[in-house]
Each structure stands twice: as C-alpha cells, then as structure tokens.
Amino acid sequence: MIRYALTCDEKHGFDSWFQSAEAYDRLRGAGLVSCSICGSTEVEKLLMAPAVRPARKAAATLTAPANPVEEAFAKMRRTVEENSEYVGMNFASEARAMHDGDTPHRSIYGEAKMEEARSLIEDGVPVAPLPFMPSRKTN
C-alpha cells in the first residue's frame, strides 16, 4: 500500500491510499481518483517526504497525538462498516441490480475489478471508491 498526498484543480489537498503506484496511475487514468472535497477528477500527486518508522522499542514510547486525517478515515471506515452491507466481489452486480430496480436499494460496499467500476460509472450507477480496503482484506 502507498499513501499519496493529492491536490485537485481547485487546490483542495487530501490524502488517499493505493495498492501501488501503478494502481494509482490506472485509477487516475480511468477517472476514478477524485477530490474528496469537491469531486473533481483533475487530481495530481504532491511531493511527499518518505515516512520512516522508528524502531519498535522507540515507537512504543511515542505518545504523539494521532493524525487528524487518519482519525477521519478511521471514523469513515467505522461508519461505512456499521451502516452498510459488505458484498465482497459481488459489488458491481449488486450495485447494478439496485440501479436497475431489480433489488431494493440499500447501503453496500465491496470490491470491483477496474473494468467493472468503469462500466458502472459509464452507465451512471452512483459509486465511489473508498480510501480503505475492507477489514476482511487487510493484513
């Protein structure tokens, strides 16, 4: 996983996590990376300093306050997980079925292949990428 500091054409700054640098490039190229504030898809990476983790013993003694952005993402994750149904790799078919009126609307989250996400967006199905992997997929 890699975290990028990003900015949109409206100069809003935000961070987002990606599986890899290549994943960021593919998502951005497909128009799937958008500003978390205004929704613009004109997004660029900002120059970032590398994050260097201290030794385990030193890390255990640090008492610095948590990053507000990380706290916001954690809160978002809790809200999504508590108020939505995880549908795994069935996300694209579930979202399309709801959009087409074949199943009742409900809050869902899950995973989709790049082609599936692109197809949903092209067909006007309201979806958005989440800035975290589902709990079932984290190490």
Cα separation, 13 vs 35, in Å, equals: 8
Tokens linked to 139: 């190490």
pLDDT for 138: 47
Tokens linked to 47: 């120059």
The answer to whether position 55 is within a domain reads no
The answer to whether position 106 is within a domain reads yes
Q: Per-residue pLDDT tens for 38-92?
A: 889 999 988 766 666 666 655 555 555 567 888 888 888 899 999 999 999 999 9
The answer to whether position 60 is within a domain reads no
The answer to whether position 58 is within a domain reads no
Same domain, 84 and 37: no
pLDDT over 70 at 27, yes or no: yes
Q: Do 83 and 89 contact (CB within 8 A), yes or no?
A: no
Question: Could you give the angle at the alpha carbon of 70 between the alpha carbons of 64 and 73, nearest 5°?
Answer: 155
Same domain, 43 and 75: no
CB burial class (10 A; 0-12, 13-18, 19+) of residue 16? buried
The answer to whether position 97 is within a domain reads yes
pLDDT for 57: 58
Same domain, 28 and 79: no
Tokens linked to 99: 């959009």
The answer to whether position 14 is within a domain reads yes
Cα separation, 126 vs 27, in Å, equals: 17
The answer to whether position 57 is within a domain reads no
Helices 114-122 & 91-99 angle (0-180, nearest 10): 10
pLDDT for 70: 84
pLDDT over 80 at 32, yes or no: yes
Number of domains observed in the structure of the chain: 2
Q: In terms of residue numbers, what domain contains 2? A: 1-48
CA dihedral 26→78→51→5, nearest 10 degrees, is 50
The answer to whether position 53 is within a domain reads no
pLDDT over 90 at 94, yes or no: yes
Share the mean pLDDT of the chain. 84
Same domain, 1 and 31: yes
What pTM was estimated for this model as a whole?
Answer: 0.51
Same domain, 78 and 32: no
Residues 6+ apart with CB under 8 A from 3: 15, 16, 17, 18, 51
